[in-house]
Structure 1
Amino acid sequence: MKILAVSALLCAMMALTTAAAVAEADPEDAETAVELDVVKRTHCHSGWKLIGHRYFFYVAQHLTWAQAEKKCVSLGGHLASVHSQWEYHQIRSLIKAQSHGHPAAWVGGTDSCQEGVWRWSDGSCFDFKQWCRGEPNNGLGTNQDCLQINFSCNKCWDDLWCHHRRPSVCVRKW
């Protein structure tokens, strides 16, 4: 019995060592292994799309910003934060694939705590901006405290009244 266990352990170690050696020797094989791992992780989180190191989910239902955040929390995340031009492009591609268009959608930006100080609902740093020209403008003093993306023909960011209903994008870590 011990011989079988040791043999199985030895075979497993050899397989892992061989896989690691192949990955080091041929970067394309390593890339394929990573792609397969991404497919497995994406499949495990049905409906969520892996972008970078986080999962994103498009919610087609038109909700207020607060309802959208609550929906994202119920799914294990928050409204999406955006941290780079590349990530913004990927999120817009996700919206297009799911909606077959470019609707404006909620993400997690808000300045409701302090006017003019934008924060992400997931607590991450507000380190990237894609505001439309002249935005955020606070609706000319009427408290537009929530961030919509894909606004106007420029597909940029706009501050909007939070009671408006939009589809949304959620994010969660994997």
Structure 2
Amino acid sequence: MKMLTVAALMCTIMALTTADDPAEAKSENDQTVSSVETDLVKRTYGCSHGWRRLCGRCFRYVARPLRWAQAEKNCQAMGGNLASVHNYREYRSIQRLIVHRCHRYREIWLGGHDGEEERAWLWSNGRRFNYRYWCRGEPNNYHGRQHCLTMNHTVRRCWDDDHCNKRKPSVCVKRRY
């Protein structure tokens, strides 16, 4: 009997860990998974509901267009910051997240800014700004007022500095728990 219980539990865990979204996972008889099982999946994935684990951190696409500062505050309210990007693999993973949610490469806010000092780019989450994927001729600080980082700019889907008061969707990031 113990072996049967262990086998059933292992099948449930395997089914849950292969689901796209743990909160939407279903058991064999198509009932909603219990909160205990969902908590187990959260610990397995390390990201709370609505967040997706990518490259060891938790990311969330926010479709509502906000100004850069509003988007940062929104991410902070959810326990994170606007996303920082540290390598090409991570950048492509964020792009896939955006395409998965809106079926196109939508231009969105990232957490980069140079508002304190021109060309001294910083991430809003305090991480080191060690990776860059600027479009050709960027950052150009057009008219001296472009201080916020956007991704998926033009058909090249690279970075651009833009006016922080424009309203765009965003991607948030936070550490796993």
The CA distance in 2 between the partners of 1:99 and 1:116, in whole Å, is: 31
Normalising to structure 2: TM-score of the pair?
0.75
The CA distance in 2 between the partners of 1:116 and 1:109, in whole Å, is: 11
1:54 alignment partner in structure 2: 57
Q: Unpaired runs of 5+ in structure 2?
A: 1-5, 7-13, 23-40
The CA distance in 2 between the partners of 1:90 and 1:137, in whole Å, is: 26
> Map of 1:130-141 to 2, 5 A cutoff?
130-139=133-142, 141=143
The CA distance in 2 between the partners of 1:66 and 1:98, in whole Å, is: 23
1:81 alignment partner in structure 2: 84
1:67 paired to 2:38: no
1:168 alignment partner in structure 2: 170
Quickly say closer, same or farther: Cα 1:119–1:47, change in 2 above 3 A. same
> Map of 1:1-174 to 2, 5 A cutoff?
40-41=41-42, 42=45, 45-139=48-142, 141-174=143-176
The CA distance in 1 between the partners of 2:118 and 2:46, in whole Å, is: 40
The CA distance in 2 between the partners of 1:100 and 1:119, in whole Å, is: 29
The CA distance in 2 between the partners of 1:44 and 1:57, in whole Å, is: 10
The CA distance in 2 between the partners of 1:119 and 1:108, in whole Å, is: 8
The CA distance in 2 between the partners of 1:153 and 1:59, in whole Å, is: 22
- Per the TM alignment, residue 43 of structure 1 is displaced from its structure 2 partner at its CA by 8.1
The CA distance in 1 between the partners of 2:131 and 2:113, in whole Å, is: 14
Query: Are the counterparts in 1 of residues 62 and 171 from structure 2 also a CA contact under 8 Å?
Result: yes
Normalising to structure 1: TM-score of the pair?
0.76
- Per the TM alignment, residue 124 of structure 1 is displaced from its structure 2 partner at its CA by 0.1
1:6 alignment partner in structure 2: none
The CA distance in 2 between the partners of 1:93 and 1:143, in whole Å, is: 30
- Per the TM alignment, residue 142 of structure 1 is displaced from its structure 2 partner at its CA by 2.2
Provide Cα deviations, 1:104-126, integer angstroms capped at 9, x if missing partner: 00000000011110000000000
Quickly say closer, same or farther: Cα 1:155–1:83, change in 2 above 3 A. same
**SS of structure 1 residue aligned to 2:146:** coil
The CA distance in 2 between the partners of 1:57 and 1:44, in whole Å, is: 10
More helix by share: 1
Instruction: State the Cα RMSD in Å.
Output: 2.5
Quickly say closer, same or farther: Cα 1:124–1:113, change in 2 above 3 A. same
